[in-house]
Amino acid sequence: MTAAAGSNRRPRLDDVAAQVGVSPATVSLVLRGVTGPSAATRERVLAAADQLGYRPDRAASALASRRSRTVGVLIDISSTYESQLVLDLYDAAERRGYSLLLSTVNRRHDEERAAETLLDSRCAGLILLGPHAPKDALNRLGAQLPVVVVGREVPAGSVDVVRTADDDGVAEAVRHLAGLGHRRITFVTGPPGAVTALRRRGYETAMRDCGLAEWIAVVDGGLTEDDGVRAGGTIMAGAGAGSSADGGRFPTGLVMFNDRSAIGLIDTFNRGGVPVPAAASVVGFDDSPVAALRLINLTTVAQDTGALADNAMASLIERFDDGRTGRREVIVAPRLVVRGTTAPCGS
């Protein structure tokens, strides 16, 4: 009978050592992947640990090393994109021996309170998903502990940044629509902030590059399906289609801030007698799980959440283990996914 058998307590390092007949120090070396023990000893230790169901006590290890192995993540729980990003962050953290602690932004818990929760939990570092806080506030936070901002620009300061090339993604959407023969291409924005500004810049630059500067038109939108519904109503009422040479006719192509607003706009158009894509082609942004559903079948710009998550964790590890202090920014390329909401103009 093993040391932990017949007991409800959690198996300990000493139990593994007793079963194999080696010192606890040797077991620790094997489980941490440190060179020294022979291949035969490693095999016996790993087999015993598996048999006993031994799992390292991360809290105890953190106390011994005086450093937490928990990374705090700030997330907006209403965002399907950020939810997928968190799933990828869990994988990236586990591969590196870290765990995640989530703090959510919601109607009663703003970004500042969510970040304070993570600070109070003594996380080793923070990953902030699409924060709206001003750059000065982010940099003050970065002066306290390692911080990675995912999903938006922070022009300078103490925080690392991992983001999608938002301007390139929107530009690719514009080029796709222009290639289908669309000229009256409208951009429907998101909430005020750095990401919306960057995506709008990508739209306007691409329109000029495609020789469509006279057709540039921007309509206020937002993050949700309801925002898309409102934007669709505005467009159908005749506003926001641009001051063009032919009097500002209805747009035949639309680039939306995200997939959720795209779905709301498409619903409004279809209900109002403007079928998508026969009368208007629509492109979303994010490639959320719902975009691929057959009923939706949304053409969209995909963000590589796996690459974003892996680079975010790698940035923290560089600060934890390598002592890096200089600012780091990683820009991940987006990818256009063509589905059924875009078609040649006039088809």
**What does each of the 347 residues of the chain score in pLDDT, given as a tens digit?**
344 444 456 788 788 889 899 887 788 778 766 677 888 888 898 888 888 887 665 545 544 444 578 999 999 888 888 999 999 999 999 998 899 999 998 777 788 888 888 888 889 999 999 998 999 999 999 988 999 999 999 988 889 999 999 999 999 999 999 999 999 999 999 999 999 999 999 999 999 999 999 999 999 999 999 999 999 999 999 844 443 333 457 999 999 999 999 999 999 999 999 999 999 999 999 999 999 999 999 999 999 999 999 999 999 999 988 888 889 999 999 999 999 999 999 86
149 and 175 share one domain: no
The domain containing residue 44 runs over which residues?
13-56
User: Does 289 share its domain with 171?
Assistant: yes
Verify that 178 and 243 share a domain, yes or no: yes
Residues 295 and 266 in one domain: yes
* Same domain, residue pair 319 and 285: no
User: What CATH code is carried by the domain that includes residue 264?
Assistant: 3.40.50.2300
Specify if 1 maps to a domain. no
147 and 45 within one domain:
no
DSSP 119-153: HHTT-SEEEEES--S-HHHHHHHHTTS-EEEESS-
Is 119 in the same domain as 145? yes
Cβ-contact 15, 52 below 8 angstroms: yes
Flag whether 49 is in a domain.
yes
At residue 12, the pLDDT reads 80
Question: What are the tokens at 22?
Answer: 């080696």
Alpha-carbon span 161 to 167, nearest angstrom:
16
User: Would residue 148 count as lying in a domain?
Assistant: yes
Paired sense of beta strands 70-76 and 185-188, if any: unpaired
Flag whether 4 is in a domain.
Answer: no
For tokens 């200089």, name the residue. 326
To which H or E segment does residue 319 belong?
helix 305-321
Same-domain pairing of 199 and 129: no
For residue 228, the 8-state DSSP code is: H
Q: Which H/E stretch holds residue 175?
A: helix 166-179
Q: What is the dihedral of CA 206, 208, 211, 215, to 10 degrees?
A: 100
CATH at 35: 1.10.260.40
β-bridge partners, 148: 127, 160
- Residue 237 in any domain: the answer is yes
pLDDT of amino acid 297: 97
Pair of tokens at residue 334: 């987006």
Q: What is the CA angle 123-223-212, rounded to 5?
A: 125
Residues 254 and 159 in one domain: no
Identify the pLDDT of residue 182: 97
In angstroms, rounded to a whole number, what is the distance separating the alpha carbons of residues 21 and 34? 19
**What is the total residue count of the chain?**
347
**Total tally of structural domains belonging to the chain:** 3
Tokens 């490693």 -> residue: 42
Q: Looking at residue 8, what is its pLDDT?
A: 55
**310, 57, 72, 154 alpha-carbon torsion, rounded to 10°:** -40
Helix axis angle for 39-52 and 24-31, nearest 10°, is 90
Task: Tell me, yes or no, whether 142 and 202 share the same domain.
Answer: no
Name which of 289, 219, 296 is nearest 253 in CA terms.
Answer: 219
User: What pLDDT shows up at residue 67?
Assistant: 58
- The set of residues, in sequence order, having a beta carbon less than 8 Å from that of 170 and lying 6+ positions away, is 187, 199, 200, 202, 203, 206, 255, 285, 301
Same domain, 153 and 176: no
Does residue 52 sit within a domain? yes
| First-to-final CA distance of the chain | 76
Same domain, 185 and 158: no
Q: 341 lies in a domain? A: no
The CA distances from residue 346 to 80, 183, 302, 342, in Å, are: 33, 11, 26, 11
Q: What is the pLDDT at residue 235?
A: 95
Is 324 within the bounds of a domain? Answer: yes
- Integer angstrom CA distances of residue 162 from 89, 152, 316: 13, 8, 11
Contacts of residue 167, defined as CB under 8 A and 6 or more positions apart, other chains included, come to: 198, 199, 201, 202, 205
In Å, how far from its chain's centre is CA 275? Answer: 31
